[in-house]
């Protein structure tokens, strides 16, 4: 949570954070500012001091909504600096940062970099700034010891927003099931009122519509994949594909609040009309593992241990796993879950590179998503819900939703 930031900065010997980029679709910036329509901004947070927001003067009303101490870029006139730097724009932009940092009393020490931006321009300016200010040192983190772990545990306000996204998400999934079931099947595929096959593209257009209607968006698209595509974990599905009966449909939906806010992540696997025996068996195995894993969730469990347990369970029923065969395309080929919040994937992680601190602690929000994939057999199954560890130390699912495999379909 946010109150951890200063202590984490002290532990890392970091004197300031520099967070760059827009205030939408930029997790670190949204976390510190609350979001809003700031097309370009900077936040400087010195250790022990509240964050300061720098903004385009045209966006002053949006900046004010952050509640942060805010300073317009017009206080640092770029045109003047360009003249002083003999027309060197990069140097002028470095000069602006130098003044901004000095106004936050940041003149030496480690400055940790955050923010989602276009790499090239920022690399140019920060490299120049580093030359101008040899007493500072920029650092970046692959495994972030400051903001990411602070963001890993959510407060009540954040949990409420994620739960609300869960409600929206499952409502859209229900609408999708209803929509499919409103169609009848002919020659083993769903057909529209006009008599043509309903396609995955048709279904996805509806999903986008229902999400928008509910104040959500899916910047990373939605997985709605049938048959062989369902056997490839990250295949989005093929828009022109018909909805064929008796084939697995993996429906993985991970929308966020409009503007790039909090996410939800949810997967069901469906088979329209009926389930052939191999599909039913694969489903039953995944569902069994899902239930076992969920029953064993508890506070302070290292998330990596859940991944190991999942590999144990799938290997016990003779499936290859990412542990038993690291580059396998078949069996259980990914990690069991991930944290989520302002990012669809964030700490805690459960895969090979997860750290010791990535445990399921109070306020952790995470997915549990076992799956089995057999693309050459034209099938894949994944089941996923989003959980958190509540104040009593128990794992709690945000939103319930039926686990049925088969969606009954009427024939023409």
Binding to a second copy, residues 150-209 (CB under 8 A) = 205, 208-209
Nearest to 75 by CA among 91, 90, 53: 53
> Does residue 213 touch a second copy according to CB under 8 A?
yes
Nearest to 379 by CA among 286, 259, 301: 286
Find the binder of a second copy among 109, 219, 302, 378 (CB under 8 A): 219
Binding mask 246-275 vs a second copy (x if CB under 8 A, - otherwise)?
------------xxx---------------
Strand partners, 332: 321
Rounded Cα distance, 324 and 156, in Å: 39
SS3 state of residue 43: strand
Site for a second copy in 27-66 (CB under 8 A): 27-28, 37, 39, 56-62
CB closer to a second copy, 79 vs 156 = 79
Q: Least CB distance from residue 129 to a second copy, whole Å?
A: 12
Find the binder of a second copy among 68, 71, 95, 125 (CB under 8 A): 125
Site for a second copy in 300-329 (CB under 8 A): 326-327, 329
Binding mask 349-388 vs a second copy (x if CB under 8 A, - otherwise)?
---xx-----------------------------------
Q: Tell me the two tokens of residue 327.
A: 């580059």
User: Which own/partner contact pairs does 84-90 have at CB distance under 8 Å and 24+ positions apart?
Assistant: 90/124, 90/125, 90/128
> Does residue 77 touch a second copy according to CB under 8 A?
yes
Contact 358, 350 (CB under 8 A): yes
SS3 state of residue 198: coil
Q: How many CB atoms are located within 10 Å of the residue 352 CB?
A: 11
> Does residue 85 touch a second copy according to CB under 8 A?
no
Piece in contact with a second copy (CB under 8 A), picked from 86-94, 170-178, 303-311, 392-400: 86-94
> Does residue 98 touch a second copy according to CB under 8 A?
no
First vs last Cα of the chain: how many Å apart? Answer: 55
Strands 184-186 and 410-411: parallel
> Does residue 234 touch a second copy according to CB under 8 A?
yes
């Amino acid at each position: 949570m946010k109150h951890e930031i200063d202590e984490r900065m002290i532990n890392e010997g970091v004197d300031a954070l520099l967070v760059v980029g827009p205030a939408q679709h930029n997790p670190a910036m949204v976390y510190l500012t609350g979001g809003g329509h700031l097309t370009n901004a900077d936040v400087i947070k010195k250790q022990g001091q509240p964050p300061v927001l720098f903004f385009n003067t045209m966006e002053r009303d949006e900046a004010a909504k952050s509640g942060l101490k805010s300073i317009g870029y017009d206080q640092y006139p770029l045109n003047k600096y360009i003249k002083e730097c003999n027309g060197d724009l990069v140097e002028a932009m470095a000069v602006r940062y130098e003044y901004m940092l000095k106004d936050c009393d940041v003149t030496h020490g480690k400055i940790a970099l955050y923010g989602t931006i276009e790499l090239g321009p920022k690399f140019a300016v920060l490299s120049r700034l580093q030359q101008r200010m040899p007493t500072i040192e920029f650092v970046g983190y692959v495994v972030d010891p400051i903001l990411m772990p602070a963001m890993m545990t959510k407060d009540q306000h954040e949990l409420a927003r994620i739960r609300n996204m869960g409600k929206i998400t499952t409502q859209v999934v229900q609408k999708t099931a209803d929509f499919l079931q409103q169609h009848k099947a002919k020659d083993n595929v769903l057909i529209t009122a006009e008599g043509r096959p309903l396609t995955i593209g048709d279904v996805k257009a509806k999903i986008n519509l229902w999400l928008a209607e509910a104040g959500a968006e899916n910047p990373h698209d939605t997985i709605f994949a049938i048959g062989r595509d369902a056997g490839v974990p990250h295949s989005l599905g093929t828009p022109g594909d018909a909805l064929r009966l008796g084939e697995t449909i993996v429906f993985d939906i991970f929308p966020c609040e409009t503007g790039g806010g909090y996410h939800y992540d949810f997967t069901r696997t469906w088979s329209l009309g009926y389930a052939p025996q191999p599909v039913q068996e694969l489903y039953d195995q995944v569902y069994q593992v899902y239930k076992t894993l969920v029953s064993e969730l508890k506070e302070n469990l290292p998330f990596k241990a859940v991944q190991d347990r999942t590999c144990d369970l799938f290997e016990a029923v003779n499936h290859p796993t990412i542990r038993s065969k690291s580059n396998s395309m078949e069996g259980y080929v990914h990690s069991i879950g991930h944290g989520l919040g302002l990012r669809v994937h964030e700490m805690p992680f459960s895969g090979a590179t997860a750290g010791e601190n990535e445990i399921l602690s109070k306020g952790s929000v995470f997915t549990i998503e076992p799956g089995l994939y057999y693309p050459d057999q034209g099938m894949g199954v994944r089941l996923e819900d989003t959980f958190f560890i509540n104040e009593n130390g128990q794992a709690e699912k945000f939103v319930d939703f039926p686990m049925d495999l088969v969606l009954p379909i009427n024939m023409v």
